[in-house]
Amino acid sequence: MLKRMKPSVAFITVGLVVFVVVQVLLSVGLLNNYWRGIIFWGAAITMVSLGLNLIYGFNGQFSLGQYGFYAIGAYASADVTWRWVRGDPSGLVVVLAGTLLALGLYVLLSAFLRRFYGVTVMTRFAFYVLATILAFAIAVTVAVPLLGPVFTAVLGVLPAVVSQQIVFLLALLGGAALAGIASFLFGIPVLELGSDYFGIATLGFTIIIKVLLDNTDTILPFPEMKGARGMIGIPQWTTWPWVFASLLLVIVVMRNLLHSSVGRAIVSVREDERAAELVGIDVTNAKILAFVVGSVFAGLAGGIRAHDLAFLHPQSFNFIQSFNPLIIVVFGGLSSMTGTIVTGFFWILLLEGILRLVLPTGFETWRLVVYPLILLLMMLLRPEGVFGRYEIPFLRRAAPPLPSKADNDGAAKGGVPQEGAA
Amino acid sequence: MGQTVFRPAQTGVMLKRRNGIWLNRFSQGLFVLLGLLVVYVLGRAFFQNPSVFVQQVLNGLQLGFIYALIALGYTMIYGIVKLINFAHGDVFMVGAFTSFYAVATLDLHRWPAWIFTGISDGVMMLIGTVTVIILTMAVSATLAVVMERFAYRPLRNKPRIAALITAIGISFFVEYFGALPFVFTNNYITYPRPFELSVFSAGMIAPWIIVAVWVFFVISVIAYVWLTYLSRKGNVQAQTWKRHPLLQFGLLFFGFMAVVLTLTGVEIQTGGKVWDLSASNVTLVIMGGSILLQVLLQYVVSHTRLGKAMRAAAYDKAVARLMGINVDGVITATFALGGGLAGAAGVLYATAFKQVHHLMGIIPGLKAFVAAVVGGIGSIPGAFVGSLIMGQTEVLAAGFISTPMRDAVAFSLLIVVLLVWPQGIFGEPPAEKV
């Protein structure tokens, strides 16, 4: 068992080679800012799509909310570093203290709620929301005046380069954690719905988040986010090691999660919820776990993207964009991590790179006409995705999954994984 | 959180669990408080300025009737193919543009004047507008059928997600093909109404019209009650007559008309101030057209062979095929009906808001879809009621809660309804096959 969890030599080699080659090309200057942006963007969208693949491909919950969590991660981490650069540690303190407090309260609350039977979903939801509000209220009122000077002093002792990297790491983690908390709260009641209704509700979530981002300076108390005008002045701290490390982290975490017993529980929920429940799997928890982990990936990607672009605009998080991860996941092949990784990079390359370069001048607007045509052709020719269920050896599951017929005729059978599809 | 995914085996120490009913009561109380807050905000708005509030309700009604037409297409297509047809909003957009070209370029709304000189303006406008709407419906229906034939039908037996991605692809294609400079361009274009707008407020409507509308409404109510009474006693014919489209049209149209005309035509006073509400002929046209089309659709679905085939296909496609129903034909017909209604909605929407744009279909389309879900997807009355609720929510939220948050409030309503009433107001609970 343990032996299998170890990364293979080939995987490490390939990873190192990719890392070194891109790093060298970037330092030499062979890849200009444009290509650098495409690679970083591709990495971010790959992380988002891997999260969606966990939620939809492996757990069978059709979700369109991935960009909402991406936006939460992006704006939260950007706000932390924005404030830090301007000498204000409050963002950092609120995010860290609030997250930790909230997690602590969740543990206490779940222990408390387990002492009762017959507690409805909405009650659990209400209590968790109250706990979250309490945690962040404490963080804002108590932790900021207490811990703010401490953070400034401790990080001020370190050299600026080191403290900047530490703050960036904390900001990324904070953004991801906030996305996780949001998905946890949203998932408790909504994951109960299942099938298409869950997809519709998550679509609503994305739209609500976008509208809130449009009004960050008027309705929400964040004047630095500047609402619909877009947030500027975010430090551009994302470098290739950061991108590579987070992408690798996401891949490894997801792979190990799926190879564990918890991962098999997650996959079994996709195959048949009833059967999974009958063999003693806590379906609700498996769904929430997959949803939260997938959203944390999206939040992390948001932080990476925000500090690469140094500019955030609500329009880049609207629900039309949120179809991108879905398209990538389906293109690559549902429940194929390899497919998602390859297609994630390829998709950005296609949209931003190839189509922009191939189309002659004067035909720039045709880019958005050609790309849906590619989409349509692809779906007509190979609806199961480019990679189907193929995985490279490192990501392959130890025991090959049983051939499940339901995967390909979800429409005919009122049954399993495509139940979530629309 | 905090729990393992596997339930711990209940061996050894059994946890002493207590009934959590008080926790449930507490959280219900929280939600009731939240609801009361909304009621308080709206109630305060009403008592501060009742006329503004009622005016907003009238505006919401207009929006709701437009959403209803779009929602019908969503609900029928979802009911039969189980596909969220994201391209439906773009059929609506193409409908608006078709009518724009028919009116602005071809001047088609004046065609009676080309043939019959000396025709009165009112009659010409009426015939011309109806022509434009019918033409638009034909074009949109054709577009919807083409989409179905070339994109969705090849994927009928493939995973549903492939059809969904295709729907998204078609939606993008229509939107951005429309944005090309030689198609629709990507500008906001002012839409010339096929008929002139005339706003009327207190005292501008002849009292006899209001009285006549009320009389018609009362007659239809009496007829409906009487037929209900007869059918309770076992009269089969009365049951059929009760669902007659004319009667339903009378009930709905004259009901809404009576309320709107009374509110706008009669001088209502509170505290010495006249309410001074106003409505326009656009509102009335939207109301009449929307109700008429819905009643016709209801008639098609419940009284014709096609409708019977549609219901059978929605219930079980495989069995319907065994019974000799041409399921593919039924699906095509469904797309045609849905597309036609969306086209009509496009004309009405453009007439109401005087603007067309190549992305105009996205948000109304989504909201109509939400309305269909709220009303219970697959149900025609559900789409109607859900759309009215949606229109009111949007307008009241914009007016009295927060203008920029109107979309957020509308979609929050969706999530709340899904949580409280997962299958919508009129929807049937999904049959679970194990």
B155 touches chain A (CB under 8 A): yes
* CA atoms of B8 and B375, how far apart (whole Å): 41
Location of structure tokens 């290739």: A240
Q: Are B73 and B344 in contact (CB under 8 A)?
A: no
Mean local confidence (pLDDT), A255-270: 90
pLDDT in tens, A322-357: 888 999 999 888 888 899 999 999 988 888 877 777
Q: Are A215 and A75 in contact (CB under 8 A)?
A: no
Say which of A119, A189, A379 has its CB closest to residue B165. Answer: A379
Q: What is the mean pLDDT of residues B427-431?
A: 67
B173 touches chain A (CB under 8 A): yes
At residue B104, does pLDDT exceed 60?
A: yes
Q: Which residues in A lie closer than 8 A to residue B17 (C-beta atoms)?
A: 114-117
pLDDT tier, B339 (very low <50, low <70, confident <90, very high otherwise) = very high
Amino acid identity of A127?
Answer: F
B414 neighbourhood in chain A, CB within 8 Å: 200-201, 204
Q: A414 pLDDT exceeds 50?
A: no
Range 273-332 of A in CB contact (< 8 A) with B: 274, 280-282, 285-286, 288-289, 319-320, 323, 326-327, 330
Q: Which residues of A touch B15 (CB under 8 A)?
A: 114-115
Is B14 an 8 Å CB contact of chain A? no
Residue B302 reports pLDDT greater than 60: yes
Strand (E) or helix (H) holding A232: strand A231-232
- Residues A376-391 pLDDT 10s: 888 888 888 888 777 7
Kindly tell me if the per-residue pLDDT of A410 is higher than 60: no
Inform me whether the C-beta atom of residue A368 falls under 8 Å from chain B C-beta atoms. Answer: yes
Share of chain A above pLDDT 70, in %: 92
Type of residue found at A391: E
Residue range A117-144: mean pLDDT, rounded: 91
Mean pLDDT of chain B: 86
Q: If contacts are CB pairs under 8 Å, which of residues 109-138 in chain A contact chain B?
A: 110-111, 113-120, 122-123, 125-127
Residues of B in contact with A118 (CB under 8 A): 19-21, 24
CA distances to A328, A347, B235 from A46, rounded to whole Å, are: 8, 9, 65
Tokens of A299: 């939040």
* pLDDT for residue A75: 95
The pLDDT assigned to A411 comes to 41
Check whether B183 has a pLDDT greater than 60: yes
Q: Would you say residue A54 has pLDDT above 90?
A: yes
What average pLDDT does the segment A97-126 reach?
A: 91
| Residues of A whose CB is below 8 A from B418 | 190, 193, 197, 200-201
Quote the tokens at residue B155: 């994927």
Total number of domains constituting chain B = 1
Question: For residue B416, what are the contacts with CB-CB under 8 A and spacing of at least 6?
Answer: none
Nearest to A215 among B30, B154, B405 (CB): B405
A362 has a chain B CB within 8 A of its CB: no
Whether the predicted pLDDT of A145 surpasses 60: yes
Q: What percent of chain A has pLDDT over 90?
A: 43
Residues of chain A found within 8 Å of residue B84, distances taken between Cβ atoms: 196, 199-200, 422
| Residue ranges per structural domain of chain A | 21-319
Whether the predicted pLDDT of B16 surpasses 80: no
Question: What local confidence, expressed as pLDDT, does residue B179 receive?
Answer: 86
Q: Is the pLDDT of residue A40 over 90?
A: yes
Q: A115 to chain B nearest CA, in Å?
A: 5
| Strand ranges in A270-411 using DSSP code E only, listed in sequence order | 311-312
Structure tokens at B48: 């501060």
ipTM over 0.90: no
Q: pLDDT per residue over B347-381, tens digit each?
A: 999 999 888 998 898 889 999 999 998 898 888 88
Query: Distance between terminal CA atoms of chain A?
Result: 38
Pairing of strands A311-312, B199-201: unpaired
Structure tokens at B73: 């297409």
Instruction: Tell me the residues of chain B between 27 and 56 that have a Cβ less than 8 Å away from chain A.
Output: 27-28, 30-31
Residues of B in contact with A285 (CB under 8 A): 3-5
Residue B331 lies in a domain: yes
Q: Is the CB of A193 inside 8 Å of chain B's CB atoms?
A: yes
The chain-wide mean pLDDT, for chain A, equals 86
- The answer to whether the CB atoms of B23 and A103 lie below 8 A apart is no
For A281, the closest of B5, B20, B169 (CB atoms) is B5
Dist. CA B192–CA B100, nearest whole Å: 7
Write out chain B in H/E/C secondary structure. Answer: CCCCCECCCCCCCCCCCEECHHHHHHHHHHHHHHHHHHHHHHHHHHHHCHHHHHHHHHHHHHHHHHHHHHHHHHHHHHHHHCCCCCCHHHHHHHHHHHHHHHHHHCCHHHHHHHHCCCCCHHHHHHHHHHHHHHHHHHHHHHHHHHHHHHHHHHHCCCCHHHHHHHHHHHHHHHHHHHCCCCCCCCCCEECCCCCCCCEEECCCCCHHHHHHHHHHHHHHHHHHHHHHHHHHCCCHHHHHHHCCHHHHHHHHHHHHHHHHHHHHHCCCEECCEECCCEEEHHHHHHHHHHHHHHHHHHHHHHHCHHHHHHHHHHHCHHHHHHCCCCHHHHHHHHHHHHHHHHHHHHHHHHHHHCEECCCCCHHHHHHHHHHHHHHCCCCHHHHHHHHHHHHHHHHHHHHHHCHHHHHHHHHHHHHHHHHHCCCCCCCCCCCCCC
pLDDT of B322 higher than 50 = yes
The reply to whether B92 falls in a domain is yes
Report pLDDT for B15. 58
Indicate left, alpha or beta for A103 from its phi (over 0: left) and psi (-120 to 50: alpha). alpha
Q: Quick one: which of B43, B16, B13 has its CA closest to B396?
A: B43
- Using one digit for the tens of pLDDT, what is the confidence trace for A202-259? 999 999 999 999 988 888 888 888 888 889 889 999 999 999 999 999 999 998 898 8
Distance CA A201, CA B156 (A): 25
**How would residue B112 be classed by pLDDT, with cut points 50, 70 and 90?**
confident
pLDDT at B340: 95
CB contact under 8 A, B28 and A111: no
- Does pLDDT of B2 surpass 60? no
From the list A369, A232, A245, A362, the residue with the least C-alpha distance to A306 is A232
d(CA B100, CA B113): 19
Interchain proximity B176–A407, CB inside 8 Å = no
Instruction: Tell me which residue range forms the domain holding B140.
Output: 50-198+321-393
